[in-house]
């Protein structure tokens, strides 16, 4: 009787150097673009920023785009542009980075946290409907890990109740929902270009929306001035400006935009590599009963920003924290996305949240582990991750 061969991962030696979770994918082209900018007459907001806005909006099919210094800035500007403030409520998700809720606090409104769907971990439209009140002014869905939230029922609710929809797409460039690009669905969409994102400008972001709304957003994003530096200091510009409202200082620089323009040109190739890595992970981990691989619904195309495994803890002798320590011992970087908003002391204490108030987010949080996923991962490194995860699951299997 022939013996079943051992899985390939059992033959791999353990790594001897640490594999970073998500370093930026910067090439010589981005470096050259930055140097070119530094040698030009414009290093702050100028011609490259304007070109980046144009090319970005063209890439996703948005009607207008505004380059900013972060996704957080985009969300803040969007809320302010919509006139949301004290006494208002904004419905959002607990399964996100704190910035999504913080900006609601910044404008003086109340974040109303609604639980998530168990498969995608995106905001549950049915629960959104249950939390709409006369004080509700907007819905702020988050496209978790690159997977779009279920936008059709959200947009229907918004239309019925005359609410704004401000999408947090920090993870979701490029992603589609029912054939439509994320960034062209809600009233506003904010993207992140942080160092770990699918497209990076080191720090930075982009806000998309209608031209009329974006005109006001542009004023709010730069001190409330009705004429920005690019318009004032070019040969065609004028020194005169007026402050029409107290705005913010959220503009992107041409140094950042130079990186973004190159990254935008590389995005398709970088996304293809992300998809290859996800396919390798899924093939390996779907056969392990101690693991649940990420969901991708048939009506979406995920941006695959994060690869979030869920541990079936009833099949393991260890908890999530110990699992992560075991990965670290095997030289594999990992993270957790995210600590739900309602568990953070500020929100817990201010609004009296208990962990079980949002049961899906709380239960799923305790078994989340994000694995390395970026276009710079070599095949051998992907195999190292697969070997480490598989070995831990076998060693600590119940």
**pLDDT digit string, tens, across residues 59-116:** 999 999 999 999 999 999 999 999 999 999 999 999 999 999 999 999 999 999 999 9
Cα–Cα separations (whole angstroms), residue 280 to 45, 277, 303: 41, 5, 16
Of 122-126, 195-199, 240-244, 338-342, the poorest mean pLDDT is in 240-244
Q: What is the DSSP letter of 134?
A: T
Write down the pLDDT at residue 158: 98
Write down the pLDDT at residue 9: 72
| Structural domains of the chain ordered from first start | 8-24+267-395 (3.90.1150.10), 28-263 (3.40.640.10)
Residues 215 and 224: their CA atoms lie apart, in Å, by: 11
Residue 11 pLDDT grade (very low, low, confident, very high; cuts 50, 70, 90): confident
Residues 375 and 31: their CA atoms lie apart, in Å, by: 18
Q: Pick the closest to residue 270 from 164, 167, 197, 325 (CA basis).
A: 197
Could you tell me which residues are beta bridge partners of residue 116?
Answer: 123
Residues 293 and 280: their CA atoms lie apart, in Å, by: 12
**pLDDT digit string, tens, across residues 335-392:** 999 999 999 999 999 999 999 999 999 999 999 999 999 999 999 999 999 999 999 9
Q: Which residues are catalytic?
A: 197
Cis, bond preceding 174 (omega within 30 deg of 0): yes
**pLDDT digit string, tens, across residues 147-193:** 999 999 999 999 999 999 999 999 999 999 999 999 999 999 999 99
Size of the chain in residues:
398
């Amino acid at each position: 009787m022939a013996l079943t061969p051992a899985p390939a991962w059992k033959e791999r030696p353990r790594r001897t150097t640490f594999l970073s979770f998500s370093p930026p994918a910067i090439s010589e082209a981005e470096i050259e673009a930055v140097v070119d900018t530094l040698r030009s007459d414009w290093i702050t907001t100028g011609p490259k920023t304007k070109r980046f806005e144009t090319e970005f909006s063209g890439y996703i099919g948005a009607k207008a785009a505004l380059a900013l210094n972060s996704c957080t800035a985009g969300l803040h500007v969007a809320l302010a542009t919509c006139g949301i403030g004290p006494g208002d409520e904004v419905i959002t998700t607990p399964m996100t980075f704190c910035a999504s809720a913080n900006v609601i606090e910044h404008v003086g409104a109340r974040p109303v946290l609604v639980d998530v769907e168990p498969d995608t971990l995106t905001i549950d439209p049915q629960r959104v409907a249950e939390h709409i009140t006369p004080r509700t002014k907007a819905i702020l869905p988050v496209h978790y890990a690159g997977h779009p939230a279920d936008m059709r029922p959200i947009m229907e609710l918004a239309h019925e109740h005359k609410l704004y929809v401000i999408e947090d797409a920090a993870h979701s460039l490029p992603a589609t929902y029912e054939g439509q690009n994320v960034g062209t669905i809600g009233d506003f969409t904010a993207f992140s270009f942080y160092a770990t994102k699918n497209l990076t400008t080191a720090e930075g972001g982009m806000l998309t929306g209608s031209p009329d709304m974006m005109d006001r957003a542009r004023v709010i994003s730069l001190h409330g001035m009705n004429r920005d530096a690019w318009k004032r200091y070019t040969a065609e510009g004028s020194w005169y400006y007026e402050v029409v409202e107290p705005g913010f200082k959220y503009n992107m620089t041409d140094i950042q935009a130079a990186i973004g323009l190159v990254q935008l040109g590389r995005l398709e190739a970088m996304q293809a590599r992300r998809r290859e890595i996800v396919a390798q992970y899924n093939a390996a981990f779907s056969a392990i009963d101690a693991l649940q691989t990420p969901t991708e619904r048939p009506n979406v195309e995920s941006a695959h920003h994060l690869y979030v495994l869920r541990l079936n803890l009833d099949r393991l002798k260890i908890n999530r924290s110990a699992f992560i320590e075991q990965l670290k011992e095997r030289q594999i970087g990992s993270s957790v996305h995210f600590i739900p908003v309602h568990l953070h002391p500020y929100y817990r204490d201010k609004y009296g949240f208990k962990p079980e108030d949002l049961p899906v987010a709380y239960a799923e949080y305790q078994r989340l582990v994000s694995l390395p996923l970026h276009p710079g991962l070599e095949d051998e490194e992907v195999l190292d991750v697969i070997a480490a995860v598989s070995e831990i699951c076998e060693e600590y299997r119940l």
